[in-house]
Structure 1
Amino acid sequence: MESAGKRAMRVALAGNPNGGKTTLFNALTGLRAHTANYPGTTIECRLGRCTNGASGIELLDLPGIYDFNASSEEEQVALNALQGRSAEFGAPDGVIVVTDATNLSRSLFLISQIVEMKLPVVVALNMVDLAEAGGIRIDARKLAAELGCPVVPVVARTGHGLAELRAALRQMKPPAPREVCGGCDGCRFKTRYAWSDAITQRCVEHAPRPASRWTERIDHMLTHPVLGVAAFFGVMLGLFFLIFSLASVPMDLIDGFFSHLGGWVERTMPESDLRNLLVKGVIGGGGGVLVFLPQICILFFCISLLEDTGYLARAAFVMDRLMRRVGLPGKAFVPMLSAHACAIPAIMATRVIEDKRDRLVTILVLPLFSCSARIPVYSMLAALLFADNAWRASLVFTGAYAVGILAAVGVAFALKRALLKGESRPLVLELPSYKMPSLRTAALLMLDRAWVFLRRAGTIILFISIALWALATYPKSEPPKEAVALQQQAGQLRARGATKDADEAQAQANRLTAHAALANSAAGRIGHYIEPVLRPLGFDWQIGIGIISSFAAREVIVSTLAVVYGVGEDVAEEDPESLYDSLRRAQRADGTKVFTPATCVSLLLFYVLAMQCLATQAITRRETNSWKWPALQLGYMTLLAYGTALVAFQTLRACGIA
């Protein structure tokens, strides 16, 4: 069935929140869907082709809407799409209204408004299995006669009724002309509710069933001010245990694959800029993108399961009491915990937050939480500060995490009272009924999130990785005289059979060459250029190069410092103590040590608070649909990191701890 312009018939899926609309969309389209933003918003729509005999129909999954008096951005987007006010998607050719069979009367208000639009309508009566289990029986034929359009009972989670629904879609036609009500707004509301009540009484039977109080007992525990919080932390602990334990193996495999791929390219291709680009830029950048994928997949799979069961709404209710005190919603807590693994999936997880300002504030502060990429930096600086005291070194870690959390809370509090001030919407939510989650729906959501990450954020991250490689590679410079002399010495030693000494001389020559190449590159020159700005923090131009290079990933500073201080990147990876010893001995031109306690504390605070992750910037751009917010995020975090490091270094130096 084709509409004007030869395009496929486009049918919108509309319905109240928690009615199983997205589950039905996934069941009808499978993996034949793609995700896009509604124009001018960060709210996503999903377009997909029907499968199994209805492939000429394209489905548009709309945000949940209660009625045409849209009270949120999501509802306004759904209303605009239904009324054909979206320039990109145009007017729909028909509507599937997805209703919750366990609460039909609630959906009838929206149905009364949609049938008056004179569009072809099919009502998908979802979750009839739960309704029957609860003693609710709906006469679908009688309801169809009352509404003037087909009514198809379905169970989207199991696929029951989908064949009948596809058949109804192929035969869609406008409902019988009817106007539920007219007159003033107040009269319309009264008339619509009266109409809904009358249809419910005629079409719905409630069988007497013994009262079941187990759900009430569970709700009492999960929404309790103390027990609810404890249960939430238990669930989150389990969630992040799964992320860390299950993701570690595929992450190691991905990292190992790209390492071996880079090594294979180095062995098979002759030394050239192209080989260097492939190994350091393309393969290194690609590995840097894909290594996050297991965490993203596991996180969204688990979030989908929690949402399907009905638990996530109860967790948001409990945490909202605590989070509102600092200007954040309860639903921000899941992304905040996730940010301790990685800010990228955490920012993507903010989609559970409905309020636009609350979601934006959460996105802006999530990079302040210490992610796993900071751990190598913390390890290096803790070893430099307290080489032989594990307890004090552990305090460095604890303090770093605490500083990040306090900074995030403080910035969120300030943003909600300054830049993004305004009353947040009070948390009004409907606690959905408990039900078994759909593994298929969770898997489809996981695959969709993974593809969105790879297609949009991944391309930006790869481009940035190549750009940073170019900065660290060009312009080219000649090897220093010392390196040339060592290479000649290595050749002579090898000719005499002293292979071990020859290898050591060659390795030292390679380190000197790499150091000189980086120092004379564009990144090195930028490091020299910004040194006057960094000097008040106790940093020199070599640390400046580390800061620049670590925009690709925070942990890159460790290998960069190994190069600029002449240790060698391979040695730093195999024997971190060699790097730490070299950094402890590193001196400036005037003979003073570089990594004093004051400098280490300053650098630690800088890395706790600075952005230093362009992958996070890319995903922030993706989620906010604007470069303005990533720029603000980068700016405020850089100023906060610089100011805090400056105060710390100057205070410690004034106290004689230099």
Structure 2
Amino acid sequence: MSTSVDSTESDHLGTSGQKKSGDKVVAMLGNPNVGKTSIFNRLTNLLAKTSNFPGTTIDRRIGRVELSDKKSITLVDLPGMYSLEATSPEEEVARDFVLGQSDEAPDAVLIVVDATNLQRTLFVARQALQQSRPTVVAVNFIEAARRRGIEIDLNILSRKLGCPVVGVSARTGEGFDRLKSQLAIVLAGPALPLLIQGGSPECPPTPAENVLTVISDDESCGSCRVCPFADGHLWAAALARESIRDGSVVSDETADRVDQFLTHRFIGPVVFAIVMVLAFSLVFSFAQVPMEWLDNGFGMLATWVSRFLPEGDFQSLVVDGIIGGVGGVMVFLPQIFILFFMLAILEDSGYLARAVVVVDRWMRRVGLPGQAFVPLLAAHACAIPAIMATKVIENRRDRLAAIMVIPLMTCSARLPVYTMIAAMLFPSNPMYAAILFASAYVLGMVAAFAIAFLLKLTILPGEPSPLILDLPPYRAPSIRNALRYAYERGWTFLRDAGTVILMISIVIWALSTYPKLSDERFADEMASRSVAVEQLSESELDGVRAAADQEHAIIGRLGRVVAPVFEPLGFDWKISVGVMTSFAAREVVVSTLSILYGLGPEPEEESSLQNRLQAAKYPDGSPVFTTATCVSLLVFFVLAMQCLPTQAVTKKETGSWKWAAFQFVYMTMLAYAAAFVAYQTISLVS
């Protein structure tokens, strides 16, 4: 799992993808789920960049590795692939890189295979070895294989493959020093003799003595009657049996029984729902204390700054605009970090792959292909890389259907909004807050399935392609990798969202402050409202003046213009302004509300955003954030398209603005209608 950034160059590869002087380039190759990324993270000490292959939007991770001979190499982590006979855009760019067809060929190849499933993962290793490049094979999960009673003879593997073979464990760090030394040896010395012969795809030559040959009558295998795919898989099976000391590949019957339970037609969805609710409850429970620390920290910072700055607009800009706006969103960072940590644990353990099987039954019925599950899952981090990941879906109809519904998945930008609403509705009940949180996720998924079904019946008719999925083995999750992933997501949120929030917070503060309301104009307005100013206490007068200043400013005037549109949803003019600003970026609504409800007469008296929102009142004294309003706001943000960069990516990937416009229109209409129904229904029954 890696964080995607739009970059065309890195520290070690030029814009053309060619290596710079000094470092040699090693391509890292292997099946999905063999732990390539975990090995890459350990080798690069978690310091790497993600860039695009030249001329594409497909990611490759690039990092620098210090070898045992004090020299360094540039390691390129390629997308996972099952065969060099590429069947997807990701596999094509990985194949072209390994073969040197799109860039300068790599100096060596590091192949990663799975010790718990050698037979499956050796096939692509054979194809890579046929390219006659210096190669090292890393057998990952070596400690997991031992626990399952699998003892692999690495010497036999090395002799048969004709290259160094190293047993490693990305989880414990076992074997990494030897792996680095073997990489240094193969890069420094002459190429080893090739034991696995290559040939044309149509008619490969007779393999060497350690390679099995199968004669096939299938015409698709060519006139030479040697099927390269059957040949390769039989060879992999034979080599796996020979390398495992007891002479057989151990099957995990326990894992099969667990799979039957977790992927059961009826039990599977129930287990999935329970796992999600428990995960979210842990998010709220563990994040409560660090959120309070951050909240108190920003409050103390605002109080400290206000003491050193003279009263006036500059103090208000710093305290209310910058600290209040940015701090209002940053306090949710612990929940974002813990949520992605939990998701990484579930994925690393192998459970999320089983969830794919459970969800696929529903996806196919509504017109979504099984291949869309991975992009839909990635959309819970960000819709932009998820839409780009739909390249793996070959059928254009299936790909368009996935792109249209991906933004309905809950992304990290929505999390501060969900957390804010859950905290207001259930401030002292983490379990209820977790259920509300999970319900928001479920609502997005249900809406995506419903829209996909309507698209299937209307503008995108047809049946989706079937799901072909290789279930990874169950493993003890790596805390290190989970922390790495959570750190990446948290840092991305701070880097990308933080800069946008800072900019918009300053703009919102300015629009909320200017033009100024003169004392004479204020007195006239109070007289027109029949407000006896002289009967108000000093604090009450300051509060009334602050509200009048906001309504007189540009933001108040804009709010009154858009307020009638959102009034049926239960939104006041401040919430309406927050909704409008959030169409640029969802998370901005939190900073906007923090500013609009935080601008007051005494900035030194800081309170949390939750307390300020709960204390907000209409002029008649009724609360602004009722249960109906909170639920309406939550539903709106679950379903609305509020991300301009996502719209740009939709246009790029579909090749037309009409699909991006359609996506924006239908999601906005859906969000408005659903929020209207939610608000009116709850208002009637409450």
Q: Sort the TM-score into its range (normalised by shorter chain).
A: 0.7 to 0.9
Residue 152 of structure 1 aligns with which residue? Answer: 166
Pick one of 617, 636, 644 that aligns with 2:643: 617
Residue 521 of structure 1 aligns with which residue? Answer: 553
Residue 81 of structure 2 aligns with which residue? Answer: 65
Aligned-residue offset at 1:420: 6.8
1:50 aligns with 2:61: no
Paired letter, 1:59 = L
In structure 2, relative to structure 1, the CA distance for the partners of 1:541 and 1:26 (3 Å cut) is closer
Residue 93 of structure 1 aligns with which residue? Answer: 107
1:242 aligns with 2:282: yes
SS of equivalent residue, structure 1 residue 119: coil
Pick one of 34, 37, 57 that aligns with 1:22: 37
Paired letter, 1:17 = P
Paired letter, 1:373 = V
Rounded to whole Å, the distance in 1 between the matches of 2:661 and 2:64 is 37
Residue 253 of structure 1 aligns with which residue? Answer: 293
Aligned-residue offset at 1:260: 2.0
In structure 2, relative to structure 1, the CA distance for the partners of 1:143 and 1:381 (3 Å cut) is closer
Residue 668 of structure 2 aligns with which residue? Answer: 638
Paired letter, 2:540 = Q
Is contact 2:350–2:474 with CA below 8 Å preserved after alignment?
A: yes
Paired letter, 1:365 = L
Residue 489 of structure 1 aligns with which residue? Answer: none
Rounded to whole Å, the distance in 1 between the matches of 2:348 and 2:136 is 24
Aligned-residue offset at 1:130: 3.6
Is contact 1:368–1:408 with CA below 8 Å preserved after alignment?
A: no
Per mean C-alpha deviation after superposition, the further-off stretch among 327-336 and 146-155 is 327-336
Is contact 1:546–1:560 with CA below 8 Å preserved after alignment?
A: no
In structure 2, relative to structure 1, the CA distance for the partners of 1:631 and 1:285 (3 Å cut) is farther
Is contact 1:300–1:445 with CA below 8 Å preserved after alignment?
A: yes
Aligned-residue offset at 1:121: 1.6
Residue 589 of structure 1 aligns with which residue? Answer: none
Deviation sequence 1:432-483 (CA, Å, 0-9, x none): 2222222222222222232233233333333333333333333444345446
Per mean C-alpha deviation after superposition, the further-off stretch among 274-283 and 156-165 is 274-283
Deviation sequence 1:240-298 (CA, Å, 0-9, x none): 11111111221222222122212222222113433333223332343244333222222
In structure 2, relative to structure 1, the CA distance for the partners of 1:624 and 1:652 (3 Å cut) is closer
Pick one of 498, 506, 526 that aligns with 2:538: 506
Is contact 2:563–2:576 with CA below 8 Å preserved after alignment?
A: yes
SS of equivalent residue, structure 1 residue 582: coil
SS of equivalent residue, structure 1 residue 99: strand
Is contact 1:42–1:624 with CA below 8 Å preserved after alignment?
A: no
Rounded to whole Å, the distance in 1 between the matches of 2:159 and 2:462 is 47
Is contact 1:549–1:560 with CA below 8 Å preserved after alignment?
A: no
Rounded to whole Å, the distance in 1 between the matches of 2:243 and 2:680 is 77
SS of equivalent residue, structure 2 residue 483: helix
Rounded to whole Å, the distance in 1 between the matches of 2:171 and 2:411 is 38
Paired letter, 1:268 = F
Rounded to whole Å, the distance in 2 between the matches of 1:401 and 1:184 is 49
Deviation sequence 1:507-544 (CA, Å, 0-9, x none): 33433433333233332333354467668889886764
Deviation sequence 1:534-579 (CA, Å, 0-9, x none): 6888988676446446666546787778689999998997587864
Pick one of 635, 638, 662 that aligns with 1:608: 635
Aligned-residue offset at 1:64: 1.0
Q: Any gaps of 5 or more consecutive residues in structure 2?
A: 1-11, 204-220, 394-398, 427-435, 527-532
SS of equivalent residue, structure 2 residue 133: coil
Residue 268 of structure 2 aligns with which residue? Answer: 228
Is contact 2:558–2:577 with CA below 8 Å preserved after alignment?
A: yes
Paired letter, 1:159 = G
What TM-score comes out, normalization by structure 1 length?
0.75
Residue 48 of structure 2 aligns with which residue? Answer: 33
Rounded to whole Å, the distance in 2 between the matches of 1:38 and 1:26 is 20
Aligned-residue offset at 1:646: 7.5
* CA RMSD between the two structures: 5.2
Aligned-residue offset at 1:168: 1.3
Per mean C-alpha deviation after superposition, the further-off stretch among 189-198 and 370-379 is 370-379
Is contact 2:420–2:610 with CA below 8 Å preserved after alignment?
A: no
Residue 7 of structure 2 aligns with which residue? Answer: none
Rounded to whole Å, the distance in 2 between the matches of 1:401 and 1:305 is 18
Is contact 1:363–1:620 with CA below 8 Å preserved after alignment?
A: no
Rounded to whole Å, the distance in 2 between the matches of 1:542 and 1:99 is 56
Is contact 1:280–1:469 with CA below 8 Å preserved after alignment?
A: yes
1:373 aligns with 2:388: no
1:113 aligns with 2:113: no
Deviation sequence 1:223-254 (CA, Å, 0-9, x none): 22233333322322221111111112212222
Deviation sequence 1:487-515 (CA, Å, 0-9, x none): xxxxxx9xxxxxxx99x643334334333
Is contact 1:12–1:62 with CA below 8 Å preserved after alignment?
A: yes
1:13 aligns with 2:21: no
Is contact 1:404–1:609 with CA below 8 Å preserved after alignment?
A: no
Pick one of 158, 161, 168 that aligns with 2:182: 168
Rounded to whole Å, the distance in 1 between the matches of 2:571 and 2:240 is 73
Deviation sequence 1:65-99 (CA, Å, 0-9, x none): 00022223432342243244567xx6433210101
Rounded to whole Å, the distance in 1 between the matches of 2:378 and 2:160 is 48
Deviation sequence 1:7-49 (CA, Å, 0-9, x none): 5222121101121211211221222223345567665432222
Is contact 1:332–1:350 with CA below 8 Å preserved after alignment?
A: no
Task: Name whichever structure is richer in helix by fraction.
Answer: 1
Per mean C-alpha deviation after superposition, the further-off stretch among 328-337 and 240-249 is 328-337
In structure 2, relative to structure 1, the CA distance for the partners of 1:205 and 1:485 (3 Å cut) is closer
Rounded to whole Å, the distance in 2 between the matches of 1:611 and 1:238 is 21
Identity level (%):
39
Query: How many equivalent residue pairs?
Result: 612
Rounded to whole Å, the distance in 2 between the matches of 1:113 and 1:225 is 38
Is contact 1:20–1:126 with CA below 8 Å preserved after alignment?
A: yes
Residue 179 of structure 1 aligns with which residue? Answer: 197
Is contact 2:632–2:676 with CA below 8 Å preserved after alignment?
A: no
Is contact 1:289–1:454 with CA below 8 Å preserved after alignment?
A: no
Aligned-residue offset at 1:151: 1.8
Residue 336 of structure 2 aligns with which residue? Answer: 296
In structure 2, relative to structure 1, the CA distance for the partners of 1:175 and 1:103 (3 Å cut) is farther
1:453 aligns with 2:493: yes
SS of equivalent residue, structure 2 residue 279: helix
In structure 2, relative to structure 1, the CA distance for the partners of 1:311 and 1:526 (3 Å cut) is same
Rounded to whole Å, the distance in 1 between the matches of 2:488 and 2:442 is 34
Is contact 2:29–2:112 with CA below 8 Å preserved after alignment?
A: yes
Paired letter, 2:280 = F
